Amino acid sequence: MTGDRRDEREFLADYDPRDYDPVSVTVDVVALTIRDEVLHVLLVRRAHPPFAGMWALPGGFVRGVRDAEGLPEAAVRELAEETGLSAGPTGGNGPLDRVHLEQLATYGAPGRDPRMRVISVAYLAFAPELPDPEAGGDAAEAAWAPVGSLGLTGTGEQRPGTTRRLAFDHSRILADGLERARAKLEYTPLATAFCAPEFTIPELRAVYEAVWGEELHAGNFHRKVLSVPGFVESTGATAERTGRRGGPRPRLYRAGDARLLHPALLRPSREEEIR
């Protein structure tokens, strides 16, 4: 036992991490929100090569040793640095405090960054409506872009002729993030992460319609949401204005305590994706 411990100490002292062919690690964030009932993603325009002038997901290098930070912390930091949206200090109330953040996937194909070997850990964020971002850090510009304007194909490429070209493999990362978002809305209550703390059922339906890109039957949706235990809970209040073109004032709800929807809200018509 004592011998083991001495071996371990000697081993650690002799250890040079650079012997192990270190690669660089970045985080990139697919940050989604709903504006004017349309799904938007946060993009920055790159100020420097490679891909200078092209658009990209906000992201950057993880601080590995000095000021070593965890991966989700790096994601929040990059989001804040490059867009000017700030997360308040623990328990604060900056605009990023109410975002849902989850890990999406990691992308590491050799050659995906022309400079060097880079592994990128992608995160997915769901945000309620946020202010317009301000460019910072490496970004020449930052904006919420309607997802539909990016010409994404089913295979994660951009259609020729799309004006905002995405750098690196970010169109694939974005496509993966969108598919994850669509799936998460089926079996989790995360649609509420796109809403204000209090929301109406029609607002929630607008979230589903924006993310799924399909119209949903208002009556059936309404009953379904209320029938899933813990999805939403009533505030007892009624919205001030209908916000739409007419009709009665809808009631207000807040997110319930469910972490999973049971039964789930399944997307209609997925026949093509099954085979």
List contacts with DNA (CB under 7 A): 200-202, 217-220, 222-224, 226-227, 241-242, 244-251, 263-266, 268
Picked from DNA, its own copies, none, the partner binding residue 12 (CB below 5 to 8 A depending on kind) is: its own copies
Cα first-last separation, the chain? 56
Pairing of strands 100-107, 118-126: antiparallel
Structure tokens at 209: 């319609």
**Which residue in 35, 37, 71, 237 binds its own copies (CB under 8 A)?**
71
* Binds 50: which of its own copies, DNA, none (CB < 5-8 Å by kind): its own copies
Task: Give the residue from 47, 73, 74, 69 showing the smallest Cα distance to 59.
Answer: 74
Verify binding: residue 268, its own copies, rule CB under 8 A.
Answer: no
Binding partner of residue 64 among its own copies, DNA, none, CB under 5 to 8 Å per kind? Answer: its own copies
C-alpha 176/C-alpha 164 separation (Å) is 18
78 catalytically annotated:
no
Q: Which of 97, 98, 129, 137 binds its own copies (CB under 8 A)?
A: 137
Out of 105, 143, 145, 239, point to the residue binding its own copies (CB under 8 A): 105
Window of 17-25, 156-164, 219-227, 240-248 that interacts with its own copies by CB under 8 A:
17-25
Q: Round to whole Å and give the CA distance between 185 and 224.
A: 14
Structure tokens at 250: 């809808």
Minimal CA–CA distance to 39: which of 231, 209, 223? 209
Q: Cα–Cα distance between 57 and 169 in angstroms, integer?
A: 10
Task: Find the catalytic residue in 69, 81, 129, 141.
Answer: 141
Active site (catalytic) residues: 141
